[in-house]
Structure 1
Amino acid sequence: MEKPLDKDETYRRRLIMAAHRRGFLEAELILGRFVDREIMNLSSEELADLERIMALEDLDLWEIICRRKKTPPDLNLELLEKIRGMLPAPPVSG
Structure 2
Amino acid sequence: MADIDARPNEDRRERLGRIAFRAWRRGFREADLVLGPFVDQVGPTLADDDLDSLEALLGWDDDHELYAWIIGTAPTPLEYETPVMTKIRGFMRDHVAAAVAEGAG
Q: TM above 0.5, one fold?
A: yes
The residue type paired with residue 60 of structure 1 is E
Which residue of structure 2 aligns with residue 16 of structure 1?
A: 20
Answer 1 or 2: which has greater helix percent. Answer: 2
Deviation per CA, 1:14-69, whole angstroms, max 9, x where unpaired?
00111111100000000011011111101111111001111122111011011111
TM-score of the pair, normalised by structure 1: 0.82
- The question of whether the paired residues in 1 share the 8 Å contact of 2:53 and 2:82 is answered with no
Which residue of structure 1 aligns with residue 90 of structure 2?
A: 85
The residue type paired with residue 80 of structure 2 is L
The residue type paired with residue 81 of structure 1 is T
Distance in 1 between the 2:41 and 2:10 partners?
Answer: 20
Higher mean C-alpha deviation, range 55-64 or range 68-77:
68-77
Find the residue that maps to 2:73 and give its secondary structure. Answer: coil
The residue type paired with residue 25 of structure 1 is R
Task: Name stretches of at least 5 consecutive residues in structure 1 with no aligned partner.
Answer: none
Q: How far apart are residue 76 of structure 1 and its match?
A: 4.4
The residue type paired with residue 68 of structure 2 is E
The count of aligned residue pairs is 89
The Cα RMSD (Å) is 2.0
Find the residue that maps to 2:79 and give its secondary structure. Answer: coil
The residue type paired with residue 24 of structure 1 is F
- The question of whether the paired residues in 1 share the 8 Å contact of 2:24 and 2:36 is answered with yes
TM-score of the pair, normalised by structure 2: 0.74
